[in-house]
Amino acid sequence: MSNHFTGLNLGAPMGDQRLDLCDLYAFQAPADPSRTVLILNANPNADALHPDAVYRLNIDNDDDGLTDIAISYVFSPPQDGRQTFNVFVARGDEAAGSAEAVGEQVVTDAEVSFGAEPGRVTAGSHTFFAGARSDAFFFDFDGVSKLFDTSGGRNFTAPHMGGKAPWTGVDSNVGANVMSTVLELPTSELGANPTIRVWGRCSVRKDGRLVHVDRAGHPSVCSFFNTDETKEEYNASEPVNDRARWTDQFVHIMGHTGGYSREEAIAAIDADGLLPDMLTYDPAKPARYPNGRVFTDDVIDHRLAFLSKGDIPPTGLSPHSDVLTEFPYLGHPHPAAN
């Protein structure tokens, strides 16, 4: 839940967990390196997804910051513990020109999976999944809270090491679930030249129009680089505008957290490809963040080292052991707590 994990006052978009995007992954399919897996997770409560929302994967394959391929998921109103989903795939001007679920409808009224046995839907060379899964993101929430002194709802903008590392050794997310959308497709259909840039978007219908309420690109960027005052604007904005709008804020925060000069901060931002906030993936190279993202990537250690210019030590946590080597790759959902 790296994108969900935010300053304590920031909360879920519109106060609705169903609209809360968590993590984005991009990697080669383990059994077939000619195929790519794209995963967008939402809703850390692993409940049904919002029936008036569009959950979208956006793919930029020509490095202009605009969407060239859009994969949109829409969900029916849940009823008697069941829910269905539809998927639309749009390309070119249609993908970039509308926030609606546009394009060819490739999945119709497929069952959302809520149990251990994952349903899958095949549409040509594409395989889709939507449903509850075990969350692969691992982090030490209590340790990070101590490190950044979030008492009073303050945001993560000033680490307080004080000599002793704050890590508890406890993975706060080991029993967590998410609602996940998973797509596996031939890499050739992504049009990488040589990279693609991927980002997730959640939009919800309000007063007859779609309102952008959340976005997901690089893990933990929204979490650590936003404030109560800017998060809504950030989540509603488009990556193509990120460089102009958000560079100064990122540089300011990095000055506080790591003593970066402006020149050092911009160089570090460029090295990680943080702005625009889109996950870059070169499928010709092994996926490892920041080239795509896999379940074993310790993105919190990466981000804390980035923020502190290497001064914050690793948390010492291990990746989750319940992930799968076959589709849909995320582990079986954990039983609901009583």
pLDDT tens digits along 85-101: 999 999 999 999 888 99
What the block records as the tokens of 317 is 């946590």
pLDDT score recorded for residue 299: 96
pLDDT digits (tens, 9 = 90+) for 18-40: 999 999 999 999 999 999 999 99
- Res 291: pLDDT: 97
Residue 325: exposure state from Cβ atoms within 10 A (0-12, 13-18, ≥19): exposed
Q: What is the pLDDT of residues 27-83, one digit of tens each?
A: 999 999 999 999 999 998 888 999 999 999 999 999 999 999 999 999 999 999 999
Asked whether residue 236 carries a pLDDT value surpassing 60, the answer given is: yes
Q: Which two tokens stand for residue 319?
A: 């990746």
3 pLDDT tier (thresholds 50, 70, 90): low
* % the chain with pLDDT above 70: 92
pTM for this model (two decimals): 0.94
Q: Tell me, what's the pLDDT at 254? A: 92
pLDDT in tens, 263-302: 999 999 999 999 999 999 999 999 999 999 999 999 999 9
CA distances from 143 to 137, 219, 319 (A): 15, 18, 17
Three-state SS for 29?
A: strand
Supply 123's token pair: 């549409």
What is residue 46's predicted lDDT score, i.e. its pLDDT?
81
Q: How far is CA 201 from the centre of its chain?
A: 9
Q: Helix, strand, or coil here: 286?
A: coil
Q: pLDDT per residue over 297-317, tens digit each?
A: 999 999 999 998 998 889 999
Tokens coding 241: 């505008």
Question: Is 70 exceeded by the pLDDT of residue 157?
Answer: no
Kindly indicate the confidence band of residue 149, based on its pLDDT and cuts at 50, 70 and 90: low
Q: Is 227's pLDDT higher than 60?
A: yes
CB 150 within 8 A of CB 158: no
Task: Report yes or no: 249 and 225 within 8 Å, Cβ to Cβ.
Answer: yes
Tell me the residue ranges of DSSP E strands in the chain. Answer: 21-29, 32-42, 53-60, 69-75, 84-91, 104-111, 121-123, 126-134, 177-186, 196-206, 209-216, 279-281
Give me the sheet containing 177-186, strands edge to edge: 21-29, 32-42, 177-186, 126-134, 121-123
